[in-house]
Copies of this chain bind each other. A is one copy, B any other.
Amino acid sequence: VTSARPERLAGPSREVPAALLDALRAACTTHVDDALLDAHSRDWWPLALAWAHRGMTARRPAAVAEPASTEEVRAVARLCHAHRVPLTVAGGRSGVLGAAIPARGGVVLSTRALRGVVGVDAESGLVEVLAGTMGPELEDAVAPHGLVVGHHPQSFSLSTVGGWIGARGAGQYSTRVGTIAALVAGLEVVLADGTLLRLGPEPASAAGPDLASLFVGAEGTLGIVTRAWLRARPLPAARAGAAWRLPSLAAGIGAMRAALRAGATPAVLRLYDERETRRAHGGDGTWCALLVHDEAAPELVDATLAVVARCARAEGAESADPRLVDAWFAHRDDVSGLHALTARGWVIDTLEVAAPWARLAAVADGVRTAIAAVPGARSATVHVSHSYVDGACAYFTFVGDPGDGDRGHGDPGIGDLGALEALHGAMWEAGQGAALRAGATLSHHHGIGLHRARWAPEALGASLGTLAAIKRTLDPHGILNPGKWIPGDDA
């Protein structure tokens, strides 16, 4: 076991004093076995996966604390705060940008023992759930009440409620139910010094700002989310879908835009470029598939599909085989293709951003063109999903063959890893740079983590300094998930 590329994890791993380990063991279940420390050294960041394939870890923590209650979380936080030792919270570790990796070593707080739905208000549709609860466990617990939360990221079966909140993620039904930010009615948060905050739950409020928003998307840097109250809906009375064949990506974006701006909010509305349509949706490279699916009261589902049909036809769409929607449902969480390419030593990764409707086509074109121009690139494709009244998410998938390029290898002792890292870095540099220049956000739902820290100053501007100041206030010793994108957070 060796630690990985220093340029990604610049900065030291902090020492963990024996006295702290003893105190953690007294406070809650605490693991120090190698297999568990290795597992908590990585998430689904493709670089971490590439390293793992070669027997390397990113950075191991000294211990994994596994508190089983909010009080135990408070005790762990107070101890790390007192010892000034990094404390990185981890849930399912399914993030793809390294957010769960303990960049400065120290202690990982695993939420795996904070599991379960502890209360359901079926009349209001409020679900009180612990942060380490995984997707299937959540939905299985609320279904007997006739409810569904409906947050379904691709990582649904691997990820936790706390991870969804920390990443400010969006699920596949977000166009109807909203991103996780809209699903959170309340939070319980433990601050670095053990202070306990209860924020909500409330359907709406004007009693000061929405402080819960500060912890949604903070990736464990500002506090530890221990519990959430999520909004759940009745199990839908009706479901229906349709597929459309659009003459171009721009026409498809026009159809989506028109439908959203008319007030339609179909649970699923996904547009694939010609190449993704050929790869997975029965296309021949000349048209783009638009899939729509909705779940709600029957009147609303019918009306929503009617609006989408009208808007699609106005852009020259023709009806496509509705079984394309079923096929998408059958394969939507399948990432085996990704793993196959990773195992071959290729670069495969995704990059998702949001942009206003007026900029979306330019973002889609600019990013694909920029990535494809990188020597070694094999493909750069896009689909559009997660729509809003003012814009949508453009989700890029790119593949590269490090053997194609004309660049030197790194340390010969690690084989082709240097070339893979260089190509991965160059494709990201091209793609994320083009996205920002075209007016897109840094991220739509994957977050920042380790990998995107390099663009945070450009994307966030002066607000990053304000966030750093707030971080110093809430976490004066800089113990919570340090060494990533908040400047000076590991003082």
Chain A residues within 8 Å of B, Cβ to Cβ: 121, 123-126, 167-170, 176, 179, 181, 185, 191, 195-199, 201-211, 213-219, 222, 231, 233-234, 237, 257, 261-264, 296-297, 299-300, 302-304, 306-307, 310, 354-359, 386, 388-393, 441-448, 452, 456, 459-467, 469-470, 472-474, 485
Residues of B within 8 A of A442 (CB): 205, 207
Report whether A237 and B262 are in contact in the complex, using a CB–CB cutoff of 8 Å. Answer: yes
Residue in contact with A300 in the complex, picked from B121, B197, B209, B263, CB distance below 8 Å: B263
Given contact pairs A217-B210, A262-B237, A390 touches B257 in the complex (Cβ within 8 A): no
A-B contact pairs, 18 of them (CB 8 A): A124-B358, A124-B390, A126-B390, A168-B206, A195-B462, A196-B462, A198-B462, A202-B354, A205-B443, A207-B217, A207-B460, A208-B467, A209-B216, A210-B213, A211-B467, A263-B297, A263-B300, A470-B470
Which residue in chain B gives the minimum CB-CB distance to A202? B441
Please name 15 further chain A to chain B contacts, defined as beta carbons within 8 Å, in addition to the given A195-B465, A202-B354, A234-B261, sorted by A numbering.
A124-B391, A170-B204, A170-B206, A191-B466, A197-B461, A203-B355, A203-B388, A206-B443, A207-B447, A207-B460, A208-B460, A208-B467, A300-B304, A469-B474, A472-B473
Residues of B within 8 A of A310 (CB): 299
Report whether A168 and B124 are in contact in the complex, using a CB–CB cutoff of 8 Å. Answer: no
Binding site secondary structure of chain A: mixed
Copies per assembly: 2
Residue in contact with A297 in the complex, picked from B126, B199, B262, CB distance below 8 Å: B262
Closest 10 A/B residue pairs (Cβ): A203-B391, A263-B296, A213-B213, A303-B303, A124-B356, A207-B442, A262-B297, A299-B303, A123-B358, A203-B388
Considering the chains assembled together, what is the distance between the CA atoms of A474 and B214 in angstroms?
15
Given contact pairs A197-B466, A357-B124, A459-B207, A297 touches B390 in the complex (Cβ within 8 A): no
Residues of B within 8 A of A199 (CB): 463
Residue in contact with A261 in the complex, picked from B125, B211, B464, CB distance below 8 Å: B125
Considering the chains assembled together, what is the distance between the CA atoms of A202 and B357 in angstroms?
10
Residues of B within 8 A of A213 (CB): 209-210, 213-214
Report whether B222 and A217 are in contact in the complex, using a CB–CB cutoff of 8 Å. Answer: no
Residues of B within 8 A of A485 (CB): 208
Report whether A463 and B198 are in contact in the complex, using a CB–CB cutoff of 8 Å. Answer: yes
Considering the chains assembled together, what is the distance between the CA atoms of A201 and B354 in angstroms?
11
